[in-house]
């Protein structure tokens, strides 16, 4: 269950992260050390991949499926450098290996420069359903395919630049919500119905189905200010999902300067994860 990933994200500053940070460079990157992966790890990767392939054709957005198919990474943990060669040609992005969660500023700096940090270790077999920190399966399977989509790739780079700016404006807490409710748990409306595009959905077994199919959660049309005010829980499925009509909307709706938005919402009470507001445009399944 990917929920717990967020425990780590929110505690990314805690020294008790499980990766090996000893050899990390000043930009927090390390070697992937692909030859160190064991046959058992490649086999677990295949098991996780096959589990998701039973879900994503029906619940993931087309852009994700299109790229995943072409990446051909069902056979085992991919070599980041091989993928980076393809990715650079597609959208100018590349993958960098990291030992796990890295400090916000380092993370934003990589994104702003079109480098996506991918954790270099894989969860243990007993963590197939529940991994505390983002591992290579979450980071790669969940996040990497959409970096091949030019519009989404631009959004991710813009998010990185926005993160560096939010840090200067002491608004990281607000901006983190945008990452959470789009990059990790975003839903997109398609002619065939709602689909997941957030990595936390795409790499999870339980929440992808819940987010798209369940009658329980509230699904609200993307509204930047409402989203930035909305808190999130890191230990359970979402109560609220935000729905976009297309990746172009992510770019358009987050293009304006956030400074006045941060100023306005700083003076307003946060919105609880399970709270409805008068202006919500509810999206039906």
What are the catalytic residues? 138, 143, 184, 203
155 binds, among Fe ion, ligand HBI, none (CB under 5 to 8 A by kind): none
With respect to Fe ion, which residue has the nearer C-beta, 155 or 283?
155
With respect to ligand HBI, which residue has the nearer C-beta, 90 or 234?
234
101 binds, among ligand HBI, Fe ion, none (CB under 5 to 8 A by kind): ligand HBI
With respect to ligand HBI, which residue has the nearer C-beta, 10 or 190?
10
Per-residue x/- track, 183-222, Fe ion (CB under 5 A): ----------------x-----------------------
Compute the distance between CA of residue 177 and CA of residue 227 in angstroms, rounded to an integer. Answer: 7
Q: Which residues bind ligand HBI (CB under 6 A)?
A: 9, 12, 98, 101-102, 104, 107, 117, 134, 176, 179
Question: Are the C-beta atoms of residues 237 and 206 closer than 8 Å to each other?
Answer: yes
Least distance (Å) between residue 9 CB and Fe ion: 8
With respect to Fe ion, which residue has the nearer C-beta, 96 or 265?
96
Answer yes or no whether residue 6 interacts with Fe ion by CB under 5 A: no
Least distance (Å) between residue 164 CB and ligand HBI: 11
Compute the distance between CA of residue 121 and CA of residue 97 in angstroms, rounded to an integer. Answer: 9
176 binds, among Fe ion, ligand HBI, none (CB under 5 to 8 A by kind): ligand HBI
Least distance (Å) between residue 39 CB and ligand HBI: 26
Least distance (Å) between residue 117 CB and ligand HBI: 4
Closest residue to Fe ion, based on beta-carbon distance: 199
93: which 2 tokens? 């992005």
Q: How many CA atoms within 13 Å lie on the side-chain side of 72?
A: 3
Least distance (Å) between residue 184 CB and Fe ion: 5
With respect to ligand HBI, which residue has the nearer C-beta, 98 or 208?
98
Compute the distance between CA of residue 127 and CA of residue 19 in angstroms, rounded to an integer. Answer: 15
199 binds, among ligand HBI, Fe ion, none (CB under 5 to 8 A by kind): Fe ion
Question: Are the C-beta atoms of residues 117 and 199 closer than 8 Å to each other?
Answer: no
Q: Which residues are near Fe ion by CB under 5 A?
A: 199
């Amino acid at each position: 269950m990917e929920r717990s990933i967020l425990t780590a994200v929110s505690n990314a500053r805690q020294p008790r992260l499980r990766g090996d940070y000893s050899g990390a460079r000043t930009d927090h990157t390390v070697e992937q050390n692909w030859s160190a992966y064991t046959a058992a790890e490649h086999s677990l990767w295949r098991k996780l991949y096959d589990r998701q392939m039973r879900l994503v054709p029906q619940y993931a957005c087309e852009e994700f499926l299109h790229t995943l198919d072409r990446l051909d990474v069902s056979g085992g943990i991919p070599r980041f450098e091989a993928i980076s060669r393809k990715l650079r040609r597609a959208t100018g992005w590349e993958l960098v290996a990291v030992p796990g969660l890295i400090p916000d500023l380092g993370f934003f700096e990589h994104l702003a420069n079109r480098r996506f940090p991918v954790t270099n270790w894989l969860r243990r077999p007993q963590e197939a359903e529940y991994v505390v920190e983002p591992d290579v399966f979450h980071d790669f399977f969940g996040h990497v395919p959409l970096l091949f989509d030019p519009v989404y790739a631009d959004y991710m780079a813009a998010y990185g630049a926005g993160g560096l700016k939010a840090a200067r404006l002491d608004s990281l807490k607000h901006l983190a919500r945008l990452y959470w409710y789009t990059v990790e748990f975003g839903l997109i409306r398609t002619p065939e119905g709602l689909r997941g595009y957030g990595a936390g959905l795409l790499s999870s077994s339980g929440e992808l189905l819940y987010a798209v199919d369940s009658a329980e959660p509230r699904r609200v049309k993307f509204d930047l200010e409402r989203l930035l005010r909305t808190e999130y829980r890191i230990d359970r499925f979402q109560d609220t999902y935000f729905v976009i009509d297309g990746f172009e909307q992510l770019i358009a709706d987050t293009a304006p300067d956030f400074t006045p938005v941060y100023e306005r919402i700083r003076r307003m009470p946060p919105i609880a994860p399970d709270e409805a507001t008068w202006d919500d445009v509810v999206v039906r399944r």
